[in-house]
Amino acid sequence: MNWEKRFTDALDIDASYRLAKKMEGPRTNPVLGYRTAGSAAELETGELLASEMRRIGLKDVHKDRIQLDSWEFSRAVMRFCDEEGKMYEFQLGAYQTDFHTNGFQTYEVVWAGKGTERDYDNLDAAGKLVLVEMNQREEWWINFPVYQAHLKGAAAVLAVQEGGYGEISSRALNAQDIAGPADAPAFSISQADAAVLKKALEAAAQSGRHSITVEFDGESQVRSGQESYNIIGTIPGRDPEEMILLSAHYDSYFSGFQDDNAAVAMMLGIADGLVKIGYHPEKTLVFCAMAAEEWGCINSKYDWSVGAYEQVFHVRPDWPGRVIADLNFELPAHAHGKKDAIRSTYEYASFLEGFLKTVPEDREAFPEGIQVLCPIETWSDDFSMAISGIPSAVNDFSAGPFMETHYHSQFDNEDFYDRAVYRFHHELYGRLVLALDRLSLPPMDFGRLFAAIEKSVDRGTEEDLISRLREARKLAGDLYQRISAVNGGEKILPEERKKIRKDLLSLFKKSQDYFVRLDWQDCVLFPQEAAERNLSHLKQAEDCLRKRDVKGALECLYGIDNNAYAFLFEEAVFSYFTDYVLNQPEERLRWGTGRIVHHENLYQVVTMLRDRLRQQKDGSGEHSGLEKEEYLLREAIARQEAYYQDDIRYMTEAVEKMVQGINEIKRRFDYGQ
């Protein structure tokens, strides 16, 4: 029976579209939307999705309670009358901070440029609304200028994106996770509305005034220790102990048509197609609409993907070890480039590449075809799934221009819906579910992981690790051949198959624990890479100082850990957002726990070199030496070299443990055949 053909024929793409639109109904802000963590709108949407799951015919439909911090944004409206008597009313977006005016209140607005420390020189911001410009993609995240303003006593920040996000229109508002404390308020204002305020501020400055007066009505409430729900439905399989998970998040900023209404609707559209054709899976298929993906944790660098993290680490910790794959969906009704991609954990890349060879191409949707990318990124719920021990994949969505233009703005709507792309993704991932369901064993190719590690290591100095990695790749290749043979029909005893499945998933979890780390920009890397990169920057900076090239040295230091923020914000800001990563409990760090291992604090040397640069420019320090700065850099180099050597030793030991695990699994094959 050709289940693929029956499935694709049964799909109702228009029904998925209608559900995506229906999800726009519940909202906390009647004008802008917003369906945020633990809010009434999120809870109402969860009930809607549970009803939809029951209508489709999914079984065991229920809500799993999760713990989180909630955010409800009701309104942010500003009134302003210019000197000519023209009245303006602006709708503002918001960030996850606490602010209550209880109706319109009068505030002064001041201009603080980019919102850096020096922008407050001779500026009184106390009790005022501070207007700042930023580009979060290319400069710094919202939490830094917001906390800087907070320390200066500002009532709230009005943030306007000058680029990077919301580029589709000068009317665009933006929303992102705040990654900071709730008592440092912030709101989003469009370029067009900010231009009105800036023009008025410029006119006021000509009269010797540094502020203008507005009326502002804002209601944004953050509460700690609240709850929401992940919504679950299943198609029961013949083996209830083995599962395939499909996931997408149902919280949103603004209306969230692409991010992530269309994804939730597609997930349920796939479920609907499978139920309609009467498909009885081998493995239980689990469909999970996740809450609180956009945000759900106060004052944490890792404040998103809370619903997914809570689900697999606290609510259902039994899923890792049983779920052979999570297919996570994000923004699936828009082409993010001419070439589509599945982004996956390394271990499933070989299987996915083979699977894609069986999928009919759709040149209308993606003229250049489709590829597999690795590794998983931190942008969405698939990262939390992967580090829990569930191999994960996501339709790649982060590379295209949509992220800079429409993403997290009120322009994420049906105007940019692409039906051909949406249909292709329904068909692609439905076929992938069917392919995964046929497998006897998780298709783990650890050789792809070892190859990536080898590529990341300095080949000239770490021959022992390189040699061990090459041995591990060969063993992993042999193991993958054995797995592929069983998945191709080779007989194995049922009890041994179950043990091998658990062992493979257990070894996958170990690979995540051993090798997945993050840098200070939330990019995924291997353990030794941070120190290796830091050493490169530090040695270049040291060389610049020998040549008395202070500017060049500073440019090198900018790329080390989070020291870019040492250039522009006061030490209290830099220290706050460093310490809350290094010195917070696991419940605040969640999926970021232990992923940043070392930190090089160069605030002192950056400050000294910036002073030196100013002295060189005005001639006051032209002949002074740089011995102190050189000494501090040598100390930093020594620390990073020690970190690097420790990391290489750790990596060698971790690879050895992986080799032992692979050999144990290979022996199980011999028992079972």
pLDDT at 621 over 60: no
Per-residue pLDDT tens over the stretch 427-462? 999 999 999 999 999 999 999 999 999 999 976 668
pLDDT band at 622; cut points 50, 70, 90: low
**Helix or strand or coil: residue 290?**
strand
CA distance 470 to 451: 8
CA distance 534 to 558: 10
Residue 217 is which amino acid?
D
CA distance 373 to 355: 14
In this structure, the chain runs to a length of 673
CA distance 119 to 38: 36
Q: Residue 459 has what pLDDT?
A: 66
Phi, psi of 59 (to 5 degrees): -100, 165
Give the angle subtended at the CA of 203 by the CAs of 76 and 110, to the nearest 5°.
Answer: 40
Give the angle subtended at the CA of 655 by the CAs of 650 and 656, to the nearest 5°.
Answer: 100
DSSP label at residue 190:
-
Q: Residue 493 has what pLDDT?
A: 86
Per-residue pLDDT tens over the stretch 35-60? 999 999 999 999 999 999 999 999 99
pLDDT band at 111; cut points 50, 70, 90: very high
Q: Residue 618 has what pLDDT?
A: 73
Across the range 567-591, mean pLDDT stands at 95
Please state the three-class secondary structure of 633-644 as a single string. HHHHHHHHHHHH
CA distance 665 to 478: 11
Please state the three-class secondary structure of 417-467 as a single string. CCHHHHHHHHHHHHHHHHHHHCCCCCCCCHHHHHHHHHHHCCCCCCHHHHH
Phi-psi region of 163 (alpha: psi -120 to 50; beta: other; left: phi over 0): left
**Helix or strand or coil: residue 145?**
helix
Are the CB atoms for 501 and 486 separated by under 8 Å? no
Percent of the chain with pLDDT over 90: 89
Phi, psi of 75 (to 5 degrees): -170, 155
What's the start-to-end Cα distance of the chain, in Å? Answer: 29
Q: CATH for 3-72+224-335+377-409?
A: 3.40.630.10
pLDDT at 673 over 70: no
Residue 670 is which amino acid?
D
pLDDT at 463 over 90: no
Q: What share of the chain is helix, strand, coil (3-state, %, to 5)?
A: 45, 20, 35
Cis? peptide before 217, omega within 30° of 0: no
Q: If you average pLDDT over every residue of the chain, what do you get?
A: 95
Are the CB atoms for 598 and 530 separated by under 8 Å? yes
Q: Residue 672 has what pLDDT?
A: 54
Per-residue pLDDT tens over the stretch 162-178? 999 999 999 999 999 99
Identify the weakest region by mean pLDDT among 166-180, 305-319, 450-464, 496-510.
450-464
Structural tokens at position 591: 């999926």
Q: Which residues neighbour 354 within 8 Å (Cβ) at sequence distance 6 or greater?
A: none
Residue 403 is which amino acid?
M
**Helix or strand or coil: residue 178?**
coil
CA nearest neighbour of 512 among 527, 528, 534, 532: 527
Q: Residue 671 has what pLDDT?
A: 64
pLDDT at 615 over 60: yes
Cα 472 to its chain centre, rounded Å, is 31
pLDDT at 468 over 90: yes
Across the range 523-547, mean pLDDT stands at 95
**Helix or strand or coil: residue 59?**
strand
Per-residue pLDDT tens over the stretch 195-232? 999 999 999 998 888 899 999 999 999 999 999 999 99
Give the angle subtended at the CA of 53 by the CAs of 393 and 51, to the nearest 5°.
Answer: 135
Burial string for 31-64 (b: 16+ CB within 10 Å, else e) reads: ebbbbbbbbebbbebbebbbebbeebebeebebb
Cα 202 to its chain centre, rounded Å, is 38
Structural tokens at position 636: 């930093």
Q: Which residues neighbour 64 within 8 Å (Cβ) at sequence distance 6 or greater?
A: 229, 230, 232, 311, 315, 316
pLDDT band at 1; cut points 50, 70, 90: low
Are the CB atoms for 16 and 426 separated by under 8 Å? yes
pLDDT at 596 over 70: yes
pLDDT at 403 over 70: yes
CA nearest neighbour of 324 among 540, 506, 186, 564: 506
Residue 644, CA distances (Å) to 230, 281, 535 in order = 41, 48, 9
CA nearest neighbour of 569 among 119, 187, 97, 184: 119
Structural tokens at position 434: 């069917």
pLDDT at 422 over 80: yes
Cα 431 to its chain centre, rounded Å, is 26
Q: Residue 669 has what pLDDT?
A: 84
Across the range 381-403, mean pLDDT stands at 94
- Is residue 87 exposed (0-12), middle (13-18) or buried (19+ Cβ within 10 Å)? exposed
Q: Residue 361 has what pLDDT?
A: 87
Across the range 367-379, mean pLDDT stands at 95
Give the angle subtended at the CA of 226 by the CAs of 391 and 591, to the nearest 5°.
Answer: 30
Q: Residue 299 has what pLDDT?
A: 96
CA distance 442 to 434: 14
pLDDT band at 624; cut points 50, 70, 90: low
